Chains A and B, each alone.
Chain A
Amino acid sequence: MKRKSLIYSLFLKGGVILFLFLIQFVLPTYHHSSFSKIMILASYAIAYNFLLGYTGLMSLGHAMFFASGMYSAGLSILYLGFTPLEGIIFGTLFSLTMSLIFGLFALRTSGVSFLIVTLMFGQTLYLAILYYNEFTFGQDGFSITNYLGSLVIFGKEHLYSNPTIRYNFALIMLAVYLLITTIIILSPIGRILIAIRENEARTQLLGYNVFSYKLFALTFSGTLAGISGAMHALLFSYIGTTFAEIHHSISPLLWTLLGGAGTVIGPLLGTGVMYYLIDFISGITSNYLLVVGIILVLTIIWFPLGIMGTLRQQWIKWLP
């Protein structure tokens, strides 16, 4: 059973990645850039889903990890003259440290206190970015286009903002995220994380150190979110406080819930659906957040399992 579902799961993911790879040659320019954006945001949602869907910890402050990756990469490129690769590595290490330290404190609480603490810390980082505006450029944000240089592939120079580069970088990141999370979830560690989600007290009783497993899940998820932020900074070369706002912490929650928490393709699907929905509504009214609110309420009342979760429950049992 396990082997069979593993094969199906790999086929599904491989198929999705292949589809996304092939579709870039036929997509019109507008949708091409939308898809790049969706894939980066979806990798953020996958990072979020690792914590919510597989460990059962809901965070309302994930923007702090995204933003810490984004700002540490962007600021180091801007001030310290790091190359883009060094910037990404620095961003990764920084968000790893951030999430580890945060986890050590926040995981002392559980249940709703944990939610409140994540929300609070997320907002504190946002305030900190605004407070040190001489250094971070506050609300306006900044662009690193002129500091990036160009990327040499097969002897030819490309800009990071080149649509093809952007699309394929995002695609590679998405593929790597899908692969890494699947490997971890199917490994013994992943089994224990799922056990914590299902019954924390029993897992503890069985002799597992629940705290360190939760810390691992939080750090891993936070680091992945941070890398998404750093990559976002690199590929769109804009760093701003919108990515640290509470709203940007709620977004991955919405995407994951809509697509289906604890499913592999769910976050990607949820991100895509919401992206196009908001895109469509923004054409009609500027109050798209109203629709976000309504969808949140309706999803939680009628589809608590999300699109993929409902599909899995009702029809396609093998869905990973």
Chain B
Amino acid sequence: MVFLAVLDGTVTAFVLALIALGLSLVFGVMRIVNVSHGEFFMLGAVFSWFAYHWTADSVWGFVLALLIAPVIVGFIAVFSERFILRKVDYNPESTIVATIGILYVIQQLTLMGFGPEARPVEAPIYFRISFPWFGYSGYKLLVAVMSGLCLCGVWLLLKRTKLGLYMRATQQDYEIATTFGVPTKKIYASVFALGGGLAALAGVLVVPIRQADHLMGLEPLLLSFIVVIIGGLGSIRGTIIAAFLIGISDGIISVFYEPTLAKMLATLFVVMILIIKPSGLFGENQQ
């Protein structure tokens, strides 16, 4: 039972890390908090249902969604970055208000196009791994593996490519990066798209485990907020570590008690972190 809870928690942690990483990247480079991040996750899940519905085949639908959903969501992200966030000059508070607006717009448009009911999507593979004393869904392990691969991919992107170099330069100092010829405007757009794409990817991966509905974005948003506050805003390393901390403890508490209690305890944990170190475990000092 404990083992099962830990296993479930690990899967949650991988997905949570993927979502929170998007949020953290956007904050790190652009210094803004994207409240509509959870809706990007929800869109990923919804597109996945459409892909599954059109192809009428769980494997091809899954592959299609995996390829298409992040791209579409990326475009939506670029669009909102270009026409809304740039207009308010990335002022942190205005951005939050604007992204709350985007949240409502995306959520309600989905409600109109997709309907209020939760819709299931079949997993592309179905097998059970039998441990001596219980079986475990193989798909969940696939989710963990694929999330892990994505995390490694983002890490490689940041450390080994020119785009990643530009991103890190913009993160360190926007103005100096601009004077050195880094196309900072484009970097902003691509970071925002990358963040949205990661959330959408997580949505595609998660939807066979749970169902797709237009309100599913709020919970992962709050969890990733908890994660980034604990890990320290903008710190990638802190985000990943905190995601595992929260994901696994969430899994254990959810199995033994109730999911709601897990969320409440996670917030109490945040209180403790705030008392000990207000900038988060790995955050840079704010003053």
CB–CB B274/A300 < 8 A: no
Given known contacts A116-B225, A124-B263, A301-B84, A294 and B105 CB-to-CB distance under 8 angstroms:
yes
CB–CB B286/A127 < 8 A: no
Instruction: Output the nearest chain A residue to B23 by Cβ-Cβ distance.
Output: A116
Counted as pairs of residues, one from A and one from B, with CB atoms less than 8 Å apart, the total is 115
Q: Choose one: B92, B100, B112; the contact of A250 (CB below 8 Å).
A: B100
Across-interface contacts of A292 in B (CB, < 8 A)? 101, 104
Task: Tell me if A146 counts as interface (CB < 8 A to partner B).
Answer: no
Across-interface contacts of A246 in B (CB, < 8 A)? 218
Tier of interface size on chain A = 35 or more
Instruction: Output the nearest chain A residue to B263 by Cβ-Cβ distance.
Output: A127
Instruction: Output the nearest chain A residue to B229 by Cβ-Cβ distance.
Output: A116
Across-interface contacts of B100 in A (CB, < 8 A)? 250, 253, 293, 296
Task: Tell me if A121 counts as interface (CB < 8 A to partner B).
Answer: yes
Q: Choose one: B33, B98, B275; the contact of A301 (CB below 8 Å).
A: B98
Task: Give Cα distance in the complex from A253 to B96, angstroms.
Answer: 11
Across-interface contacts of B271 in A (CB, < 8 A)? 105
Task: Give Cα distance in the complex from A113 to B229, angstroms.
Answer: 7
Q: Count residues on chain B whose CB falls below 8 Å from chain A CBs.
A: 44
Task: Give Cα distance in the complex from A287 to B88, angstroms.
Answer: 26
Task: Tell me if B222 counts as interface (CB < 8 A to partner A).
Answer: yes
Task: Give Cα distance in the complex from A95 to B111, angstroms.
Answer: 35
Q: Choose one: B107, B228, B260, B278; the contact of A127 (CB below 8 Å).
A: B260
CB–CB A105/B274 < 8 A: yes
**CB 8 Å contact bits of B120-162 with A (1 = contact, 0 = none):** 0000000000000000000000000000000000000000000
**CB 8 Å contact bits of B95-121 with A (1 = contact, 0 = none):** 011101111110111011000000000
Task: Give Cα distance in the complex from A128 to B105, angstroms.
Answer: 28
Task: Give Cα distance in the complex from A157 to B267, angstroms.
Answer: 47
**Besides the contacts A120-B270, A293-B101, what 10 more A-B pairs have beta carbons closer than 8 Å?**
A106-B274, A112-B233, A131-B261, A253-B97, A287-B108, A293-B107, A293-B108, A294-B105, A300-B94, A304-B94
